[in-house]
């Protein structure tokens, strides 16, 4: 009795493993590489013959000459893809409030002339801790500091931000965003 049930079960397990564990993933990977080659390869950004990053994962920029992305909650270093995840600190947690105050102070010290409200994404980490984008407001908040540090007119840096703004998904979902790595690479190309 057991043998009559065991054999079909093992055959079905083997067939489903081959079909769903090998054939289907191989087919989807092949279609993705043909239809979306850049995305299927990780949206890698190449410069001078080497890979310098991905458009999907943020990078840490500390110099005032660059636009800064969202804070990262990953450890042991920022934007660690192996430790993706948020800080899980609630809005009333003293550690979160202290981190936000610290980020606001850092931004105010870096550019004391800016009196605008600090965009929230410049002081809080995303859910993944890897966010490569800023809102348009987050990028524009930093134009004065970056322009001053590079000795460029603010209008030139602002125009660069405008050139790198991506529209809303389907024209109405989400916010207009700017990829920080791509924007900083464009800055380096100016000078």
22 and 57 housed in the same domain: no
Q: Whole-angstrom Cα distance, residue 11 to residue 117?
A: 64
113 and 75 housed in the same domain: yes
29 and 48 housed in the same domain: no
27 and 78 housed in the same domain: no
CB-based contact 32:40 (threshold 8 Å):
yes
114 and 145 housed in the same domain: yes
Residue 119 belongs to domain spanning: 43-190
17 and 62 housed in the same domain: no
DSSP state, residue 169: B
Q: Whole-angstrom Cα distance, residue 90 to residue 162?
A: 34
Contacts of 29 (CB under 8 A, 6+ apart): 40
75 and 161 housed in the same domain: yes
pTM of the model: 0.80
pLDDT in tens, the chain (191 residues): 778 889 999 999 999 999 999 999 999 999 999 999 988 888 888 888 888 888 888 899 999 999 999 998 888 888 888 888 777 788 888 988 998 999 999 999 999 988 899 999 999 988 888 889 999 999 999 999 999 999 999 999 999 999 999 998 888 898 899 999 999 999 998 86
8 and 96 housed in the same domain: no
The residue among 72, 71, 64, 70 whose CA lies nearest residue 143 is 64
Q: Whole-angstrom Cα distance, residue 58 to residue 132?
A: 4
111 and 186 housed in the same domain: yes
- Report the domain count for the chain: 2
The residue among 123, 142, 121 whose CA lies nearest residue 132 is 121
85 and 139 housed in the same domain: yes
60 and 138 housed in the same domain: yes
Specify the DSSP element, H or E, that contains 137: helix 136-141
96 and 9 housed in the same domain: no
């Amino acid at each position: 009795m057991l043998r009559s049930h065991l054999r079909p079960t093992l055959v079905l397990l083997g067939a489903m493993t081959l079909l769903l564990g090998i054939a289907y993933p191989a087919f989807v990977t092949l279609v993705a590489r043909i239809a979306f080659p850049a995305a299927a390869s990780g949206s890698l950004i190449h410069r001078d013959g080497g890979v310098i990053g991905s458009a999907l994962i943020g990078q840490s920029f500390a110099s005032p000459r660059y636009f800064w992305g969202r804070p990262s909650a990953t450890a042991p270093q920022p934007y660690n893809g192996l430790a993706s995840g948020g800080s899980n600190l609630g809005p009333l947690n003293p550690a979160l409030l202290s981190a936000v105050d610290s980020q606001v102070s850092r931004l105010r010290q870096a550019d004391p002339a800016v009196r605008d409200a600090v965009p929230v994404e410049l002081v809080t980490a995303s859910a993944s801790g890897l966010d490569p984008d800023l809102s348009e407001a987050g990028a524009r908040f930093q134009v004065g500091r970056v322009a001053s540090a590079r000795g460029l007119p603010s209008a030139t840096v602002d125009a660069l931000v405008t050139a790198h703004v991506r529209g809303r998904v389907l024209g109405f979902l989400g916010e207009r965003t700017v990829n920080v790595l791509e924007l900083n690479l464009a800055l380096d190309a100016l000078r």
